[in-house]
Structure 1
Amino acid sequence: MQRQTEIMMTPEKLKAIISQGEGTEVELKESKDSLARKVYESICAFLNRRGGHVVLGVDDDRNVVGINPSKVQEQLDQLAKDMNNPQLFKPTYYLNFEPMDLDGKKVIYFYVPESTQGHSYKGVFYDRNQDGDFELRSTEQIANLFIRKSKFKTEDRVYPMLGMKDLDEEAFDELRRGIRIENSQHPWLNLSNEEIIRSAELLAVDPETGKEGLTLAAILLFGNSHAITTALPAYRIDLLCRVNNTELYDDRELLSCNLLKAYPITMAFIKKHLPEQPYIEGIQRFSLRDTILREVVLNMIIHREYSSAYPTTFTIYRDSIVTENWNIPYVYGHIDLQTMRPHRKNPKIAKVFSQMGIVEELGSGMRKMFKYTPLYANGKEPVIEEQDVYRIEIPYVPTLQSIDAESGQKSGPESGPESGPETTQKRIIKLLRDNPDITSRQIAERLKMARSGISKHLHLLQEFGKIKHIGPNKGGHWEVVGD
C-alpha cells in the first residue's frame, strides 16, 4: 500500500522531489510527445528494490519541460494498459498515475512502492542503484532478488538430520559468559542448552519432511565441526594481517568454527595486530579500536548471506582494515549516514548476540563507525559499499610494526624504534647514528639479516619520518631524523 504522503501529492512536495535529482528513489523522464519506454525499466527496478518516485515531463537537469497537453491522456492510458499486460510485466502490478500542473505545465507523477514479489519487464529482471536501472544478468543475482523478497530467510533453513548432539558445549559456555557480564539476572542463565535453543527460536519444523531440526542460525551459532561441515561445507572466515607482506601475509587465521567462538577469536586477532587508542567521552574511558572494530566484525558475521560459498575476509593492511562478505543488497552503492537503511539480514543470529549486550539497536553500529573512525584515523571516515559483496574499509593511523626477516619474531603493535629493547628498528637506528655512512648492505651484514628484510625496515622507518635518505637512490645513505 502506498504511503499517505505519497498519495496526497502537492506541487510543493513534487518540486522538492524533483530538486533531489535522479537517484536510488527518484526517476525523471521527459516524455514530452510520447511515453519514454525506459520508464518501464525504472518501474520494474523500483518494484524490485525499495520503491521510488517517477515524474514524467521533467528532464535529467530537473527542468520542468512538460508533456504536450494533447498527449497526457494517451500516456496515462498507455501506462495503465502496459502495467496490466502479463506479456510485458510478470507479475502485473497496479499503479495510480496522477496528472498534475506544475509551473503552468503538465506532468505525470506516480509512486512505485516496493513489491513483495520479484518482477520482470519483457523477461528481464531490473534492480536499482544510485546510477539508475540495471539488468540482473546472472542466476545468482536473480536468486538473491527472490531471497530478499521472500519472508523466508536463509538462517531459517531447517536441517532435520541435525539435533542437540551436533552442538558445541563450549559455544553455550561462551554465550553464558557474555550474558553474565551484561546481566547476571538474565533468564537464559538458568536454562538448559535445549531450552536456550527453543527460546531463541532456533529449532523449527521442516515444511518438506514435517520433522523438527536445527535451523541454519543454530548451526552457525552453536554447531560443532560436523554440523557446520554438513550444512555449510564451504563456510570460512579468513583473518589476514598484510602489514609488511602484502602479497601473502604476515599472519593468518582461517576459521571454520561457530560464530560464538569466531567472534572472540577475531577480536583477539585485532588486538594482536592493531594499535590501541584509549578515548575518554564524558567520564567513560574506552578503546576506539575495540569500539569501531567490534561493530565491523559484528556486521561482517551477522549480516553475511550464508547461502553463498564466497568467503568472509577480514584483512589488516598498513593503514586500513578491509572486510568483505557476500551480501543480498538492500541499498546498492556507497553507504553513509544519509543513505543507510538499517536492515537486519539475520535477525535470529543478531538476537543471540544481543543477549550478551554486544548488538544494540538496529543502525547503532553504523553510527558508531562514522562517529569514532575519524578520531581513530586523523579525520578520515569509513568507506562502506553495498553490492553483492559488502565491503567496509576502516582507515587507521599505523604504528611501526615489523617482522624480523631472520627469526620471524614480530614486534608488538605498539612497538617502535624507541620501545621494546632489541627491536629491529631500534637496532637499525643505533647503527645509523653510530655509523653515518653505513650502507643497507652493511646493516644487513651487521644484523645478520637478508637485505630485502632490511630494505623493508628502512622504508618503513622513512615512511614514519624516523630516517631520511640522502643522495641518489644508488650510492646514497640513510640519516636519522632528530636526536
Structure 2
Amino acid sequence: MATSSTYKPVETMTNLQETETVELKKSTSELKEGVISIVAMLNKHQRGEVWFGIRNDGAVVGQQVSEKTLRDISKAIADHVEPKIYPVIEQSAVGSRQCIRVQVEGKEYPYYAYGRAYIRVGDEDRQLSAKELENLILGKNRDRLRWDTEVCDKATIDDIGPGKLKSFLKLCGLKFDTIPNSLEKLNLIKAGRLLNAAVLCFARKPEKFFPNARLRCAVFGTLDTTVTIGMKDYYGDVFALINKAEEYILEHINIGMRLEGMLRVDVPEIDPEAFREGIINAFCHRDYREYDSVNIAIFKDRVEIRSPGLLYGGLTIDTIRKKMVSARRNELLAELFQRSHRIEKWGRGIKMILEREPATEFEEVGTVQFVATFKRKNVEAFPSISVGETTQKTTQKTTQKILELIVSNPRISRIELAAEIGITADGVKYQLDKLRKQGILKRIGPDKGGYWEIVKE
C-alpha cells in the first residue's frame, strides 16, 4: 500500500470504539503505543487501524495535523516495525475535528515493534511469550508443516497392505483396482511417494516407520498408578489401534445386564459410543511429531484417554465444551476418518460425548498432553441394571488362571505367575492379596521356601 498524506475527509463517525482491529489514541504523543497496537493487530488479524485524535472512550478531541506529523508517523512505523509494512496514513474529518487514520494490512507475521512481538486481546496489546510466539509461527505454517501430508521417505508401495486398503475403500463406497491408483483417489501419494497418512493407515507394519504408531493400555488397582494390575502395548495401523483400545476398555470395566423383552443386553458402566468417540479423537487429532503413544489408563473410579499434543488452532477446553467447532491438526487424516464414517465433519464429537456421558472431563496437561476422563459408575446407580448380573470379566479370568497355576504348582512365585499370565508382578500381588482377604487362598511358610494352599473353591 502507498503512504498518503493528503487531506481526505471521510463520513462523520460518532460511535468509534476500541476493538481487536481498532485502536484510539488522543494524540501522536502516544505514537509509540500506537505502533505497538499496529503490530498486535497484525499478529492477531493481519489488519487493523489506529486513530489519533480520539480518546479511548470514543470522545473526539482532534489532532493538529501537518505534513511533518504525517511524516513522523510514517517514519516511526518504518523504523520500528519488522517485517516492513506499508501503511495508508490519512488526515480525516470526524465531525468537525481533524484526526489521523492509519490503516495497515500484512500477512508476514509475526511482526515486531521495537524488537518485541505483541498480540491483540480484546482492546489490549499483550506481549507474546516465547511459547505463544512459537505457536503463532507454527499456526502460520501449519498447512505446509502438517505431519500427515509429509512424504514418508523410507516407505514404498510394497509396504502397503492391500487387504487393509480394500476394506477401507469398501467402507467409503469406492472400488479398488491397484494400490497406487487407490491411494491416488484418497490423495495419499505425492509425486509417486507415500504420504505419512498412507503409511499410518494402510502399511502392513506402520511401527516400522513410526515407533509412536502405538497404543499403551494399563489397569491400576487404586485411584492412582501405584498398583499396576496389567499393562499391554499394541502396534499397528491407526484403525486397528482404535479397535484394540475399544476392546481393552470393554474388557476392563463393569458390564451390567438388563432385560429387553426376552433378551439380556450388556450395559457397560461407560457408554461405548462416548468412549469410542474419545478414542477416535485421540488418534485423529493427536500430534504425531511427539514420540509418545495414545494411552488408556483404567483406574477404580475412572478411565483416562491420553493423547499427545494440546488442543489445536487456538481452541480451548471451554470452547470445545460449549460450541460445535473443530480445528484439525491432521486434515488429511481427519478426511480419511470422515470418509469411513468414523467422525462427522462439523465437530459434533465432543457434544455427543457430553450428551451420553455428561460428567466427562477434558484437560490439557502441561504443554504435551490432552486428557479425556470418563467417570466409572457405581453399578447400583443404574436402575436398569441387575447388580447380581454384573461381572468383571477380565478380573475373573485372571483370578481363575492364578488358581489353576497354583493347583499345578503350589510353590510358584509371583514373578512366575506374572510371566505365565502376562501381567505385572504388582498386578499378581494385588490379586493374591485380594484372594487371601476373601479367604480363598492361604500362604504356608515364608515367602521363600513356602507354598500356596487353596482354602476354598
The separation in 2 between residues aligned to 1:203 and 1:346, in whole angstroms, is: 16
The separation in 2 between residues aligned to 1:105 and 1:420, in whole angstroms, is: 80
Partner of 2:85: 92
The separation in 1 between residues aligned to 2:435 and 2:296, in whole angstroms, is: 38
1:49-82 deviation digits (Å, cap 9, x = unpaired): 55687777999xx971647523789998766544
CA contact (8 A) 1:325 1:391 kept: yes
Partner of 2:407: none
1:417-468 deviation digits (Å, cap 9, x = unpaired): 87449999xxxxxxxxxxxxxxx99983735489xxxxxxxxxxxxxxxxxx
Question: Any residues of structure 2 matched to 1:34-433 within 5 Å, and which?
Answer: 34-35=29-30, 37=32, 43-49=38-44, 64=57, 66=59, 68-70=61-63, 80-85=74-79, 88-92=81-85, 94=87, 115=107, 117-126=109-118, 133-137=126-130, 142=134, 145-146=137-138, 148-152=140-144, 153-169=146-162, 171-172=164-165, 174-176=167-169, 179-180=170-171, 186-188=173-175, 190-205=176-191, 212-225=192-205, 228-230=207-209, 232-234=210-212, 236-242=214-220, 244=222, 246-248=224-226, 249-274=228-253, 289-317=271-299, 318-319=301-302, 321-327=304-310, 329-331=312-314, 333-336=316-319, 341-370=325-354, 372=355, 375-377=356-358, 380=359, 382-383=361-362, 389=368, 391-399=370-378, 419-420=390-391
CA contact (8 A) 2:310 2:370 kept: no
CA contact (8 A) 2:254 2:390 kept: no
**For the structure 1 residues 10 and 369, does the alpha-carbon distance in structure 2 shift closer, same or farther, using more than 3 Å as the test?**
farther
**For the structure 1 residues 419 and 361, does the alpha-carbon distance in structure 2 shift closer, same or farther, using more than 3 Å as the test?**
closer
**For the structure 1 residues 193 and 116, does the alpha-carbon distance in structure 2 shift closer, same or farther, using more than 3 Å as the test?**
farther
Q: Tell me by how many angstroms 1:203 deviates.
A: 1.1
The separation in 1 between residues aligned to 2:63 and 2:38, in whole angstroms, is: 24
The separation in 1 between residues aligned to 2:126 and 2:104, in whole angstroms, is: 14
Query: Which has the larger Rg?
Result: 2
Partner of 1:433: none
**For the structure 1 residues 105 and 147, does the alpha-carbon distance in structure 2 shift closer, same or farther, using more than 3 Å as the test?**
same
AA matched with 1:198 = E
Q: Tell me by how many angstroms 1:199 deviates.
A: 0.8
Aligned-residue sequence identity (percent) comes to 15
Q: RMSD in angstroms over aligned alpha carbons?
A: 5.2
**For the structure 1 residues 420 and 216, does the alpha-carbon distance in structure 2 shift closer, same or farther, using more than 3 Å as the test?**
closer
AA matched with 1:399 = N
AA matched with 1:324 = S
The separation in 2 between residues aligned to 1:445 and 1:299, in whole angstroms, is: 41
Q: Tell me by how many angstroms 1:351 deviates.
A: 1.9
Q: Tell me by how many angstroms 1:258 deviates.
A: 2.2
The separation in 1 between residues aligned to 2:208 and 2:438, in whole angstroms, is: 50
Greater mean deviation of Cα atoms: 159-168 or 142-151: 142-151
CA contact (8 A) 1:329 1:387 kept: no
Secondary structure of the equivalent of 1:267? helix
The separation in 2 between residues aligned to 1:174 and 1:94, in whole angstroms, is: 56
The separation in 1 between residues aligned to 2:365 and 2:74, in whole angstroms, is: 34
Q: Tell me by how many angstroms 1:128 deviates.
A: 6.5
Q: Tell me by how many angstroms 1:259 deviates.
A: 1.2
**For the structure 1 residues 239 and 157, does the alpha-carbon distance in structure 2 shift closer, same or farther, using more than 3 Å as the test?**
same
CA contact (8 A) 2:303 2:375 kept: yes
AA matched with 1:352 = L
**For the structure 1 residues 333 and 191, does the alpha-carbon distance in structure 2 shift closer, same or farther, using more than 3 Å as the test?**
same
The separation in 1 between residues aligned to 2:16 and 2:276, in whole angstroms, is: 42
CA contact (8 A) 2:256 2:386 kept: no
Secondary structure of the equivalent of 2:130? coil
Count the aligned residue pairs.
Answer: 378
Contiguous gaps of at least 5 residues in structure 2 = 2-9, 258-266, 397-432, 444-457
The separation in 2 between residues aligned to 1:260 and 1:80, in whole angstroms, is: 57
Secondary structure of the equivalent of 1:299? helix
**For the structure 1 residues 366 and 229, does the alpha-carbon distance in structure 2 shift closer, same or farther, using more than 3 Å as the test?**
same
AA matched with 1:149 = N
1:10-51 deviation digits (Å, cap 9, x = unpaired): 969865x75xxxxxx578777677327456555545544556
Greater mean deviation of Cα atoms: 194-203 or 328-337: 328-337
Q: Tell me by how many angstroms 1:242 deviates.
A: 4.3
Secondary structure of the equivalent of 1:446? coil
Q: Tell me by how many angstroms 1:394 deviates.
A: 4.1
AA matched with 2:82 = F
Q: Tell me by how many angstroms 1:319 deviates.
A: 3.6
CA contact (8 A) 1:28 1:56 kept: yes
The TM-score, its normalising length taken from structure 1, stands at 0.59
Contiguous gaps of at least 5 residues in structure 1 = 2-7, 19-24, 206-211, 279-285, 402-413, 425-439, 451-483
Q: Tell me by how many angstroms 1:396 deviates.
A: 2.9
**For the structure 1 residues 441 and 199, does the alpha-carbon distance in structure 2 shift closer, same or farther, using more than 3 Å as the test?**
closer
Q: Tell me by how many angstroms 1:214 deviates.
A: 0.9
1:292-318 deviation digits (Å, cap 9, x = unpaired): 333322322222232333544444442
AA matched with 1:115 = K
The TM-score, its normalising length taken from structure 2, stands at 0.62
Using CA pairs below 8 Å that are at least 6 residues apart, which structure has the higher relative contact order? 2
CA contact (8 A) 1:56 1:108 kept: yes
Q: Tell me by how many angstroms 1:238 deviates.
A: 3.4
